Structure 1
Amino acid sequence: MRQLALSLAPQPLPSLGNFVPGRNAELLAMLSALAAGDRSERMVYIWGGHGCGKTHLLQAMRSAFSARDVPVAQLDGAMVLADVPPPEVVLADDVEQLDEQSQERLFNVYNAQRDGGGVLIAAGAVPSARLPLREDLMTRLGWGLAYEVHGLSDDEKMAAMTEHARARGFNLGREVIEYLFRRQARDLPALLGLLEALDRYSLENKRAITIPLVRELLSDADG
């Protein structure tokens, strides 16, 4: 596809407001209260499969805390959080991927946050009891609140796509969404990425997003 000369609207950043809750309404309400300053629950573990929204929620929480000038840092994969002591809020994504050194650091961060009044929100692919981590860390992650992040139904994904399109300033007809669902993997991040490509392609060609335009784009991609 040709590159647009005009600048494009930026992709909306993950926020609590643009997270489609589906069956996660209780989790979203708890995180919203935590972001607003409620400290009745400070240790939280969320888990779920690929594409369920865990990383979206962690990124949204980071933005929410930063907007209130609350010190926040993130630990993910094999990255070791260097701050000692940790900031008021620590977010840890993909904890099942932590190497031995990072597990030691997260164990110490957990204890520091628990004893010092800080917040720790961790996320993983499986329930805490099934994490491939050292036992003392696995146990601690199970002490606080734990929520499964439920993936969205097809109808909820369609609603998310409609809202994503609206946030970028274009309308997406139901027939286009259903066409995409019949021909693409129903992974929401992948579908939203496809919407980004459709938006660019439609602007480049100065045409509305219709099924014929989608066919053209997918044909170009396949070719």
Structure 2
Amino acid sequence: MRQLILDLLPDAAPSLDNFVAGSNGEVLAGLRRWLLPANEETCLYLWGDGGAGKTHLLRAIAAPYFDAASDPALRTLAEDDTRSGGRLAVDNVEALDADGQIALFNAFNRLRASGGALLAAGNEPPLRLALREDLRTRLGSGLVFRVHALSDAEKIAALAAQAAARGLRLPPEGFPYLLARAPRDMRSLAAILVALDRYSLEHQRPITLPLLREVLHNTPEA
């Protein structure tokens, strides 16, 4: 059963269109403007708590993506990534080690010289990051937005809209039950909703609380 649920969970690519903005409408609008060809800001920096959606937005711009949490030295970042006037996305900058800070500092300078752009994210605003001063200054030199996590009410509203778009009918207690027992990020919640739909159709069973409980019981990390 566990493997069946794994197979049902989709791996939809993050995009700006499938980002659930909630109270982050200004963030999303600012990012869209920053992506326009007329943009002259080298850097846009996002900060906020984990699970707020920063990684989704970084991956959504379809630029080379680097995660300092798994590569603190940014060893996979090549000079060619920053010399073509394109964009670069660097996540979890607070995790950069000394070598990684130098690498990002140099990458920023190359991007600025080539007309490129950097989308970066961290858990604190630039001036509160425990990084070298010249790097903090560069990360804070452009646009800075705080990304707020969705409230429970916003998550339920988003899930209800997605369910309605798929023609799903959940019992009234279904959404609070899902929110209380599943991973709380929207990507996981939306994926479980899709899995619930497919599982219900495959087994020819209506979506009830026992069916939802069954799906969650067999979903990893739920």
TM-score (norm 2): 0.80
Q: 1:121 aligns with which of 119, 122, 127?
A: 119
Q: Of the candidates 170, 175, 192, which is equivalent to residue 173 of structure 1?
A: 170
Please state how far the C-alpha of 1:28 moved relative to its aligned partner. Answer: 0.8
Deviations 1:51-100 (A, max 9, x none): 100011111112xxxxxxxxx32222213311336141111111111222
Correspondence for 1:69: none
Q: Is the 8 A contact 1:75 1:93 kept in 2?
A: yes
1:88-107 superposed matches below 5 A: 88-107=86-105
CA distance in structure 1 between the aligned counterparts of 2:2 and 2:135, rounded to whole angstroms: 50
8 Å Cα contact 1:198-1:217 kept in structure 2? yes
C-alpha distance in 1 between matches for 2:96 and 2:197 = 37
Once the two structures are overlaid, the 10-residue window that deviates more, 181-190 or 122-131, is 181-190
| 8 Å contact kept, 2:59–2:65 | no
Residue 61 in structure 1 maps to residue 61 in structure 2: yes
- Three-state SS of the structure 2 residue aligned to 1:138 is helix
Which amino acid is 1:31 matched to?
Answer: L
Spell out structure 1 runs of 4+ moving beyond 6 A.
none
- Hey, what does 1:67 align to over in structure 2? none
Shift of 1:218: 3.9
CA RMSD between the two structures: 2.8
Q: Work out the CA distance in 1 between the residues paired with 2:149 and 2:64.
A: 26
Q: CA deviation at 1:34?
A: 2.7
Residue 34 of structure 1 aligns with which residue?
34
Shift of 1:195: 2.8
Identity of aligned residues (%): 47
Normalising by structure 1, report the TM-score.
Answer: 0.80
Question: Following the alignment from structure 2 to structure 1, what is the Cα–Cα distance between the partners of residues 80 and 183?
Answer: 43
In structure 1, how many angstroms separate the alpha carbons of the residues matched to 2:31 and 2:11? 23
How far apart are 1:22 and its partner, in Å?
A: 1.7
| Residues 210 and 83 of structure 1: CA distance in aligned 2, closer, same or farther (over 3 Å) | farther
The one-letter code matched in structure 1 to 2:16 is L
Equivalent residue for 2:78, pick from 75, 82, 85:
82
Q: Which moved more, 1:193-202 or 1:104-113?
A: 193-202
Aligned-residue offset at 1:135: 1.9
For the 8 Å contact 1:22–1:156, the answer to whether it is kept is yes
In structure 2, give the amino acid aligned to 1:39.
N
Higher mean displacement: 92-101 or 209-218: 209-218
Moved more, 118-127 or 179-188: 179-188
| Contact 2:9/2:191 (<8 A) preserved | no
Cα pair 2:88 2:119 within 8 Å, conserved = yes
In structure 1, the partner of 2:64 is: 73
Amino acid at match of 1:173: L
How do 1:1-223 and structure 2 match up within 5 A? 1=1, 10-62=10-62, 72-77=63-68, 78=71, 79-80=74-75, 81-84=77-80, 86=82, 87=84, 88-165=86-163, 169=166, 171-173=168-170, 175=172, 176-184=174-182, 186-219=184-217
Structure 1 distance, partners of 2:217, 2:67, is 37
CA drift of 1:44 comes to 0.6
Structure 1 unmatched runs, 5+: 63-71
